[in-house]
Chain A
Amino acid sequence: DAKTTQPNSMESNEEEPVHLPCNHSTISGTDYIHWYRQLPSQGPEYVIHGLTSNVNNRMASLAIAEDRKSSTLILHRATLRDAAVYYCILIYAGNMLTFGGGTRLMVKP
């Protein structure tokens, strides 16, 4: 699977939007972009995924650059419960997830 690069940590204020970036310059045309998050003392949790077009669901939005070499996970209003490690993962087939270091999001009240 192609490699992704994310900042180690980010900080946000509660009830403000958060934009979590991910670079994936070696992405191939068939790689899907998946985001998972891991809250403290829990297993990872699926957030959202996309291929080319921007995607929205009840948890977040995913904005994908036109050249697909980067993407941004958008939390529209951060809450304290959103404090977690966020992983950006590229998947071609087989559902085998290759996790990197992720971004640790801290939310301040």
Chain B
Amino acid sequence: ETGVTQSPTHLIKTRGQQVTLRCSSQSGHNTVSWYQQALGQGPQFIFQYYREEENGRGNFPPRFSGLQFPNYSSELNVNALELDDSALYLCASSGKGEQYFGPGTRLTVT
């Protein structure tokens, strides 16, 4: 059974650009959640997808958007990047209960 994987590992973007982060869920999991973790803080919930539909959203603006595909892999898209978007972005997949997190993508916006 493979775990949750994310790509890329690190990314550097310029303010105003757009970025796409990818996540492959653990086998058999139909729910994926995305979190943003700023340095020294706990992860903050961005949104969750269940069977390709958004199933909940945290306090993030519309320029944060997502997709979930039929194979349950997922993307997080961020438009018009701001310096404060620099963070570790985590995805987590779940089936019936606990969530399994990937290692994250470190995004730096300059």
Contacts and interface: CB of A to CB of B under 8 A. Distances in A.
Q: Is chain B found bound to chain A in the same assembly?
A: yes
Interface of A: 34, 42-46, 49, 85, 87, 94-102
B104 interface: yes
Contacts of A87: 42
B42 A95 contact: no
B31 interface: yes
Given A95-B31, A96-B48, A42 B41 contact: no
Contacts, number: 51
A94 B45 CA distance: 12
B102 A43 contact: yes
Q: Classify chain B: how many residues form its interface, as a range.
A: 20 to 34
A43 B90 contact: yes
A46 B90 CA distance: 14
B65 to A, nearest CB: 17
B101 A95 contact: no
A94 B55 contact: yes
B42 A102 contact: yes
A96 B99 CA distance: 9
Contact of B43 (A44, A46, A49): A44
Contacts of A43: 4, 90, 92, 101-104
Contact of B90 (A44, A96, A98, A102): A44
B55 A97 contact: no
Nearest to B57: A96
B33 A49 contact: no
A46 B98 contact: yes
Given A95-B94, A96-B45, A97-B43, 16 more contacts: A34-B98, A42-B103, A43-B92, A43-B103, A43-B104, A44-B43, A45-B101, A49-B97, A49-B98, A85-B42, A94-B48, A94-B56, A95-B48, A96-B33, A99-B44, A102-B42
A15 B44 CA distance: 33
A32 B66 CA distance: 27
A84 B98 CA distance: 19
B76 to A, nearest CB: 14
Nearest to A32: B97
